[in-house]
Amino acid sequence: MEPRTIIEPFRIKSVEAVRFTTREERAAALRAAGYNLFRLRAEDVLIDLLTDSGTGAMSAAQWGAVMQGDESYAGSRSFYRFEAVVKELTGLRHVIPTHQGRAAERILFHCALKAGDIVPNNNHFDTTRANIETEDAEARDLVIPEGRVPALLHPFKGNVDLGALERLLSTEGPRVPLVMVTITNNSGGGQPVSLENLRGVRALCDRYRKPLFLDACRFAENAWFIHTREAGMGDRSPRDIAREVFALCDGCTMSAKKDGMANIGGFLALNDDALAERARNLLILTEGFPTYGGLAGYDLEAVARGLEEVTDPHYLRYRARSIEYVVDKLVAADVPVLRPAGGHAIYLDARGLWPHIPPLEYPGVALADALYLEAGVRSVEIGSLMFGMRPDGVEVPAAMELVRLAIPRRVYTQSHMDYVAEAVLSVAKGKPPRRGYRITEAPKVLRHFTARLEPLEG
């Protein structure tokens, strides 16, 4: 037969119970958490879609590799295995392990930026933006206009606006030390960047002599979308596509907590010898010796194995389908959702659902909190709470008010996804809140992680 059902391409060897709570318990937990889902105890969550980062299930082969970890401080065998896999995949010369993606970002930006610089990207994610702003540089988002309209269909909504990038490079080129592209574009809905667009960015980088860095956290999901959506790519394997994508760049930052299929880890990889030396020296100061970079030998083994598993077409087909499955159900019920389905998450359009709540009353927070209260599902706001505070302390609404339901890798089954869809429908079809929230306390930088809020409706 030609199967229509796309199954989970694994069997389950070990399980972890989830904990059910009552609505009253969830209401109390929300109050205690200052209505910020980051502040909940994970035990009070039934289905945790806060993030796909570090929350995946490792394979039996990865756990087996963990036992092979070489914990030598310097020159560990596990490092050389990790380095070989990253080099085979990326073709980049220097491989610098870090404890997670943001450490790679901090080291790269601290070594490569100076005050007043501009770093273009399709969309910077929160930590990337913060690590640039910490250097008194500017993180500038240049995604194509289609990438800012949730309901609009386009196969590569993560693409960089090449015209805007060229204008920036021709007018303010001296202030741009490097160009970044995030694959897939997390803050823009987990949307992919096409190979054609990446070639266009490369050509501009060549013309203006700028290094191109990828924020490569979800490179395999991006390769899958190129494989399925881009003309002429259907016959090429996701790994082959991923290798071509990496061949276009001069370096990358990577959080191995996503497409590294590990619970911790990351790396900075690059070709520039002098920059690599500066990065390694900074690494020693804050992360560790260059052959472990803040990780245990067994973590390096898990990441090495994960980077091999993640480009399996059966895995990627199931991964993309499990997200599209929920999006299809929501679209069929007219729930405003970012389309097409992204690579790692479902993004609800809170502005579209509850347009009466102004952006600076955080409609995304209202929706995420309602979903938790209704069904114990934890999501995350990607809107004006996360991105509304400029470095100069002025609050401006974010481009979109989204609620992200990020799907951990290989953790939840189809019935969990049915439950999630049912929960969203119940909230979306129920009585909307009249008002949103106000912030009662928040730090200046990355406020969404720890802010406390209160509902304006009483």
Which of 183, 357 has the CB closer to ligand F0G? 183
Residue 125 as a binder of ligand F0G (CB under 6 A): the answer is yes
Residue 102 as a binder of ligand F0G (CB under 6 A): the answer is yes
State which of positions 392-451 bind ligand F0G (CB under 6 A).
406
Question: Minimum CB separation from ligand F0G for residue 208, in Å?
Answer: 24
- Least Cα distance to 377 among 3, 9, 77, 26 occurs for 26
Question: Minimum CB separation from ligand F0G for residue 51, in Å?
Answer: 3
Residue 219 as a binder of ligand F0G (CB under 6 A): the answer is no
Stretch that binds ligand F0G, among 100-108, 312-320, 433-441, 445-453 (CB under 6 A): 100-108
Strand duo 380-382 + 377-378: pairing: unpaired
Which of 176, 262 has the CB closer to ligand F0G? 262
Phi, psi values for residue 91, rounded to 5°:
70, 5
- Half-sphere exposure for 335 (CA within 13 Å, toward CB): 24
Which of 125, 315 has the CB closer to ligand F0G? 125
Question: Minimum CB separation from ligand F0G for residue 407, in Å?
Answer: 11
Strand duo 437-441 + 138-141: pairing: unpaired
Task: Give the count of residues interacting with ligand F0G (CB under 6 A).
Answer: 16
- The Cα 366–Cα 355 span in angstroms is 12
- The Cα 34–Cα 313 span in angstroms is 42
Q: What does the chain come to in residues? A: 458
Stretch that binds ligand F0G, among 94-102, 309-317, 393-401, 441-449 (CB under 6 A): 94-102
Q: Which tokens belong to 60?
A: 């039996």
Per-residue binding string, ligand F0G, 35-54, x by CB under 6 A, is ----------------x-x-
- Least Cα distance to 152 among 186, 189, 196, 121 occurs for 189
**Measured at CB, which residue is nearest to ligand F0G?**
101
Stretch that binds ligand F0G, among 120-128, 282-290, 353-361, 415-423 (CB under 6 A): 120-128
Query: DSSP E strands: which ranges in 38-77?
Result: 47-48
Looking at 36, 76, 122, 128, which residue binds ligand F0G (CB under 6 A)? 128
Q: What is the DSSP letter of 57?
A: P
- Least Cα distance to 417 among 321, 277, 313 occurs for 321
- Least Cα distance to 215 among 254, 261, 187, 258 occurs for 254
Collapsed DSSP state (helix, strand, coil) of residue 437: strand
Which of 296, 406 has the CB closer to ligand F0G? 406
Cα torsion 366, 368, 371, 376: sign:
negative
Per-residue binding string, ligand F0G, 144-183, x by CB under 6 A, is --------------------------------------x-
The binding site for ligand F0G (CB under 6 A) comprises 51, 53, 100-102, 125, 127-128, 182, 186, 215, 217, 255, 257, 266, 406
